Amino acid sequence: MGALERLDDGRYVVGLRLLETVSLAPRGHGLRAVAMPFMEDLFHVTRQHVLLAVREQGEALLVGRLSARDAGPVHYRVGGRLPLAFTGVGLVLLAFAPPAVQDTAIAAYEPHQGDDDLRTPAELRRVLAEIRRGDYAVGHQSSPRPASTVAAPVREGEEVVAALSVVTPGTGTQHSEYVPAFRATARAISRRLTEDSGRADRGEGYGGRRR
């Protein structure tokens, strides 16, 4: 059926038929198609890792990534899952998730791989409230390697459907200069998604709304 392909050494990998099927998923492909031109602008400004993720149950699912050749090493890959409480995109998605999802993540939080400023569940709850007030997240961590992040929510109408972020090497304050650009870009993607959704509701096209 083409779902899997066998390599010369006998190992199996995902086949092109599955890739074809996955490309039809509106929350991944449709969202990415709208966001990618805006992500490319951010990529040319930052020359770092620009990420786009959606929430899938209790994790962040990476649906888009642009990375400069000389950007710092990361283990993120499109289709990979990231913990909500330990990444910039994850914190934004968690901040706007239903209360039950937030309570579960906060109760289970351990700072072994989280932001350097988050040491207790209470601090995580405080940071999520700050993200909702400011409509963006900043953070840094010193392990496994120093990195900083800025993230902002992407909306369709009033609903947060994705998060956009940049990951830069080091833990200095240079990441804060990206905050205005990321907030503006996230709002631009949100307007385009909302416009596309309105056209779909009027029967003028598909807006990629999550059902």
- Residue 207 has a pLDDT of 43
Per-residue pLDDT at 178 exceeds 60: yes
Nearest to 184 by CA among 153, 207, 159, 148: 153
Q: For residues 77 and 65, is the Cβ–Cβ distance under 8 A? A: yes
- Residue 82 has a pLDDT of 86
Per-residue pLDDT at 43 exceeds 90: no
Q: Once rounded to an integer, what is the mean pLDDT over residues 203-210? A: 47
Strand partners, 164: 52, 152
Q: For residues 209 and 197, is the Cβ–Cβ distance under 8 A? A: yes
- Residue 124 has a pLDDT of 92
Which strands make up the sheet holding 81-83, listed edge to edge? 81-83, 59-67, 49-56, 159-169, 147-156, 137-141
Instruction: Give the pLDDT band (50/70/90) at residue 20.
Output: low
Ranges 12-21, 136-145, 157-166: which has the least confidence: 12-21
The superfamily CATH assigns to domain 25-201 is: GAF domain (3.30.450.40)
Residue of higher predicted confidence among 14 and 6: 6
Q: Left (φ > 0), alpha (ψ -120 to 50) or beta: where does 75 sit? A: alpha
In degrees rounded to 5, what are phi and psi of residue 169? -75, 150
Query: pTM to 2 decimals?
Result: 0.79
Instruction: Give the pLDDT band (50/70/90) at residue 3.
Output: confident
Per-residue pLDDT at 49 exceeds 60: yes
Average pLDDT, the chain: 82
Per-domain residue ranges of the chain: 25-201
Per-residue pLDDT at 62 exceeds 70: yes
